[in-house]
A and B are shown apart, each in its own frame.
Chain A
């Protein structure tokens, strides 16, 4: 079919075969009496000038396009939809008629199965902005979240920002990837990032009496401590500290290099950033909170 690819996923200005596409009718055709399919919006060159569900053999038959399939495709497509028809016939025919195989629905960020059907801001559990807690409260504690008791409200209620004033976040380095064990064993990458560090704004560093390159203790709100190098920079705002999470091999200041199997220890070891992070789980995916927490930074 020589399809050029779809640079923009939602682009009704181009024919589907030239890389245009519509929103997928993923959640059925109707909910609470409201039509979920598109109304009055369709791809260029689409023979159906309105919303349409995902293509399957029944849809093709109803539309009368079933005979556009070759006999073998018909055999393969019998009783299947565009995802399970291995011959790809349903997709070919849908695109031939200018339609996108997975249907044309309203672009509605309306996930009714989520606690927040439409995403709204909820203040993180460990926050220094107590004013936002009242405005954007978090969820109630849940007795059984996939059979796991998970706390939200009860933690947010406690104000940790008195002893842990600085907001702590973590993120990536371009030199390392993932947990970093593999890329920290790469001689050339390891040389570029030899030390685990925390980025502090000059004002916070000045208040804590920290110079660039000093060893500092970053103590998370749940009293876990990591010993890292201080990098005084304006990359982070005042009151915020950033830590890369590719390092490992030290634990609360102790170098555990000898625990690595013989010859398997990477060139560079460092504290794992997540040691200093705190409790908090996503209300849907249970993904742990490693982006915003509170910490206290003192000179080591």
Chain B
């Protein structure tokens, strides 16, 4: 019964919540709008937006040494997770069968494990930094912690199901993924999509004023 539930309705429900939630949030972001900037445009907002979007991938020179740890751990985690998510053999097969209909060549098994190790290490260090650093600890809301821990649990159950031998562990992993999808639109996980408009908005805002943000 549980298997039917997890593989069936709950999966589609969580997908629905995810897509509708994300779209809803993005629309909300767009339609909140902001006051028109009445100043004379000194430079093009668009180029500012694009420039800022890419410049934010690299930490500012001055504060780089201070935040080197979160940047490195951040990239380790995100790149490990994306490589794992989109190029791990079981995931590629899953996407091919359940969602997209087409597949691509997956990473070899050892690369999949190394990516997972990078992701786990990055996430642990990032989450510990959030707890250890007094400033980030103060500004961390419960939602941040839940998002981090939930992602960790999803990855951990994924690791537990590596042997692909028992349906029980696969279901557990899929169930945590479903929880993650449902929680996604209401949490900081939205930054997966909102970081694009937010950087561009700031970039455009300052670009219009000719400021190199």
Report A-B touching, CB under 8 Å.
no
List chain B positions with a Cβ less than 8 A from chain A. Answer: none
List chain A positions with a Cβ less than 8 A from chain B. Answer: none
